[in-house]
A and B are shown apart, each in its own frame.
Chain A
């Protein structure tokens, strides 16, 4: 089974509108972390936001928020007031486990977001 599933290979959003990028995960580890990264066409990977499995509140960073629904094992990224510069690939990732210091991070296959003027 896929550890991280991003079901939307591509999405369009109108400039200034909000958009939700879906991510579901699969783990039996009670302690884990969820991340979102942005990869613009230039290729670098940019960290956006983090959510810990024990965090009570949804993480927010500026226009980015993470809609964390633990029971449904989903960690959707919400971008408010989309800007043209938000056009990029977005990757969801999960960090599992600290057994013996082991830190396994698994990435999804990404969602390509295009913002339309």
Chain B
């Protein structure tokens, strides 16, 4: 069955370190998204991609970067982790169509000490 996976599921890191969160989908979807979820804010869009070599900033992109070298993967990099980036991160994918329904990965809980 097609799926979307994230790794690691839990990560603890220190302030200033570079961290990369992996996202891999086997739906063959063109669209991929990264969100962060914080209490009281719901989900907020960090970056998104509509295809290989395409990346775009979302509403909370400062301190994050992504690259899309193939259809299946959209890794999220925190260049220099900050305590404010402690959060749960969700990757999602969708195929452009009538509903554009996004399907989510299981999430990565990141703690920055």
Contacts and interface: CB of A to CB of B under 8 A. Distances in A.
A101 B50 contact: yes
Interface string A75-101: 000000000000000010101000001
Nearest to A91: B42
Interface string B88-101: 10101010101111
B106 to A, nearest CB: 5
B102 A43 contact: no
A50 B101 contact: yes
Contact of B100 (A43, A95, A108): A95
B6 to A, nearest CB: 10
A50 B48 CA distance: 21
A52 B56 CA distance: 25
Contacts of A95: 100
Size class of the A contact interface (CB-based, 8 Å)? 20 to 34
Interface in A98-117: 101-105, 107-110
Contacts of B98: 52
Interface in A44-75: 44-47, 50, 52
A45 B100 contact: no
A44 B100 contact: no
Contacts, number: 51
Contacts of B40: 109
A107 B100 CA distance: 15
Contacts of B101: 35, 47, 50
Contacts of A46: 104
Given A33-B99, A50-B99, A103-B100, A43 B43 contact: no
B25 interface: no
Contact of B106 (A33, A35, A43, A108): A43
A86 to B, nearest CB: 19
Nearest to A102: B56
Interface of B: 31, 33, 35, 40-45, 48, 50, 56, 88, 90, 92, 94, 96, 98-104, 106-107
5 contacts: A45-B90, A47-B101, A47-B103, A93-B43, A103-B100
